[in-house]
Chains A and B, each alone.
Chain A
Amino acid sequence: MNVVRYIWQNHTQVLGLTLEHLWLVGWSTVLAMLIGIPLGILIAHRPRLDKAVLGSANIIQTIPALALFGFFLPVPWLGERSDRLAILALTLYALLPIIRNTYTGIRGVDASVIEAGRGMGMTESQLLWQVELPLATSVILSGVRVAVVISVGLATIAAAIGAGGLGEFIFRGLAMIDNRVILAGAIPAAVLALLADFGVGWLERVLRPR
């Protein structure tokens, strides 16, 4: 129970780093949704682009996290603050599941439903907002859920470039060879991931079309 006592003794710091962690994950998820959902919609309607876009997002996924964090260091505005760097890198990682699920969700809408809508004189934007997006929402959200859970884990590495977050405890603990300190970062991170998974999963069920 050493760990619990350690976390309790340092609870203000644990809370502070958890909030930093949430800051990184929250911003990167919002940005990834703002970029990824429109991109997913685009490639669902322009099948010629799908391989290129999904391929690029896939390649980003293969770059090791630490390398990606360091990669943008020399970029002027980004390099000034390490949390900007971290948010950018996390956004790039979150893109693939969000783009892919948006694409799959929209392509998965029954073709006869689209044809009926078009045949009755719905414009392309009416089809998108009233039919495609509502029917794809739960698939898109399950992509967001994957993205958030990945981000919570990856954000611990952001501490390596001084962006803060719960990774601070983990790296410190590694340096001190002290499991209590490592767990003071790892446990709240795991809890965050579970809560995010549960939260978005709940939203997914609520918004699922009947």
Chain B
Amino acid sequence: MLCGMPSATAGPVIEFLDVSYRVGETQVITGLNLQVARGETLILLGRSGSGKTTTLKLINRLVSPSAGEVRVNGALTAEGDVNRLRRGIGYVIQEVGLFPHFTVARNIGLVPKLERWPEERIRARVEELVKLVGLAPDLAARYPHQLSGGQRQRVGVARALAADPEILLMDEPFGALDPLTRDELQREFLTLQRRLNKTVVFVTHDLREALLLGSRIALMEAGKLLTVLAPVEFLKSSDPLVAAYVRAFGGGLEPVANRSTS
């Protein structure tokens, strides 16, 4: 199911077609059209309430569109088993959401366990992931409350990668960290992404982070997608809303944008 399918090469990995999402009278997402290509890191950028997180949740069907369709690898997310869909998509959130009564190892091994991998294979995979995200091996036996914020989010990333999903959804994963730890994790994310080449959709309101991590930046405002631009184009754009965003973050952004492409 994972390899050798024609869908693995052709077409976008994630596709939004005229997607709208409404709660009662409130229009949260309006007429969204967007494609995410294999191996890219697409940033959803925008202010609070612009619909970034909802867009992300439409991909793993934590919310279902009121109109239009969302496709993952060509298949409608609305059809088929929702839990199967979600187990094939890594999900990282700002609050991390580690299970407080599970050890770090059990937290990381959650999806493999749900997928009924044999214990031995889970143990080996957990060990591998602990190393991959830069955690000390002895932390595996600890409980989440015994970790620092940065360590917790590393565990969150490891958990999302556990079953080697093709897609990674990240909702402001570094937003609650102190600046130093955030910087560290951003750099490590870049290194990791070069190595793993996942298709990543990353929500943030931080332009600096967007320029650093993104292959493309999708700017959202009031539930609508305004534009999708590469980081370098984003800084040069004459679009007033894009320019306003760049202005709000002040100067010194060019080196950041260049660093990600180099």
Pick from A115, A121, A130, A131: contact of B93, CB under 8 Å: A115
Q: How far is the CA of A117 from the CA of B87 in the complex (A)?
A: 10
Pick from A118, A119, A123, A131: contact of B99, CB under 8 Å: A131
Instruction: Let me know if A134 is at the binding interface, CB within 8 A.
Output: yes
Considering only residues 120-176 of chain A, those with a C-beta below 8 Å from chain B are 120-123, 126, 130-131, 134-135
How many chain B residues sit at the interface, stated as a range, is: 20 to 34
Q: Is there contact, CB below 8 Å, between A210 and B100?
A: yes
Instruction: Let me know if A62 is at the binding interface, CB within 8 A.
Output: no
- Per-position contact with A for B96-115: 1 when CB-CB < 8 Å, else 0? 11111100000000110010
Q: Is there contact, CB below 8 Å, between B101 and A120?
A: no
How many chain A residues sit at the interface, stated as a range, is: 20 to 34
**Interfacial chain B residues near A67, Cβ < 8 Å:** none
**Interfacial chain B residues near A117, Cβ < 8 Å:** 97, 99
Considering only residues 185-210 of chain A, those with a C-beta below 8 Å from chain B are 209-210
Q: How far is the CA of A121 from the CA of B87 in the complex (A)?
A: 5
Q: Is there contact, CB below 8 Å, between A119 and B93?
A: yes
On whether A122 and B114 interact (CB within 8 A), knowing A112-B96, A113-B99, the answer reads yes
The total of Cβ contacts below 8 Å across the A-B interface reads 64
**Interfacial chain A residues near B143, Cβ < 8 Å:** 210
**Interfacial chain B residues near A110, Cβ < 8 Å:** 95, 97, 100
**Interfacial chain B residues near A122, Cβ < 8 Å:** 83, 114
Instruction: Let me know if B182 is at the binding interface, CB within 8 A.
Output: no
Q: How far is the CA of A117 from the CA of B91 in the complex (A)?
A: 10
**Interfacial chain A residues near B86, Cβ < 8 Å:** 118-121
Instruction: Let me know if A116 is at the binding interface, CB within 8 A.
Output: yes
Q: Is there contact, CB below 8 Å, between B84 and A121?
A: yes
Q: How far is the CA of A115 from the CA of B53 in the complex (A)?
A: 13
User: Least Cβ distance of B118 to chain A in Å?
Assistant: 19
Instruction: Let me know if B73 is at the binding interface, CB within 8 A.
Output: no
Q: Is there contact, CB below 8 Å, between A209 and B95?
A: no
Q: Is there contact, CB below 8 Å, between B110 and A120?
A: yes
Q: How far is the CA of A210 from the CA of B83 in the complex (A)?
A: 28
On whether A118 and B62 interact (CB within 8 A), knowing A112-B93, A112-B96, A123-B83, the answer reads yes
Instruction: Let me know if B187 is at the binding interface, CB within 8 A.
Output: no
Q: Is there contact, CB below 8 Å, between A126 and B93?
A: no
Q: Is there contact, CB below 8 Å, between B62 and A210?
A: no
Q: How far is the CA of A126 from the CA of B169 in the complex (A)?
A: 22
Q: Is there contact, CB below 8 Å, between B60 and A135?
A: no
Instruction: Let me know if B216 is at the binding interface, CB within 8 A.
Output: no
On whether A121 and B100 interact (CB within 8 A), knowing A112-B93, A116-B93, A210-B143, the answer reads no
**Interfacial chain B residues near A120, Cβ < 8 Å:** 86-87, 91, 110-111, 114, 159-160
Q: Is there contact, CB below 8 Å, between B95 and A119?
A: no
- Per-position contact with A for B54-87: 1 when CB-CB < 8 Å, else 0? 0000001010000000000000000000111111
On whether A210 and B93 interact (CB within 8 A), knowing A119-B62, A120-B86, A123-B83, the answer reads no
Q: How far is the CA of A209 from the CA of B101 in the complex (A)?
A: 5
Q: Is there contact, CB below 8 Å, between B60 and A134?
A: no
| CB-based closest 5 A-B pairs | A116-B97, A121-B86, A112-B95, A121-B87, A209-B101
By a beta-carbon cutoff of 8 Å, the part of chain A in contact with chain B is: 110, 112-123, 126, 130-131, 134-135, 209-210
By a beta-carbon cutoff of 8 Å, the part of chain B in contact with chain A is: 60, 62, 82-88, 91, 93, 95-101, 110-111, 114, 143, 145, 156, 159-160, 169
28 contacts between A and B (CB under 8 A): A110-B95, A112-B93, A112-B96, A113-B98, A115-B93, A115-B97, A116-B91, A116-B99, A118-B62, A118-B86, A119-B62, A119-B93, A120-B86, A120-B114, A120-B160, A121-B82, A121-B84, A121-B88, A121-B111, A121-B114, A122-B83, A122-B114, A123-B83, A130-B99, A134-B101, A135-B100, A135-B101, A209-B101
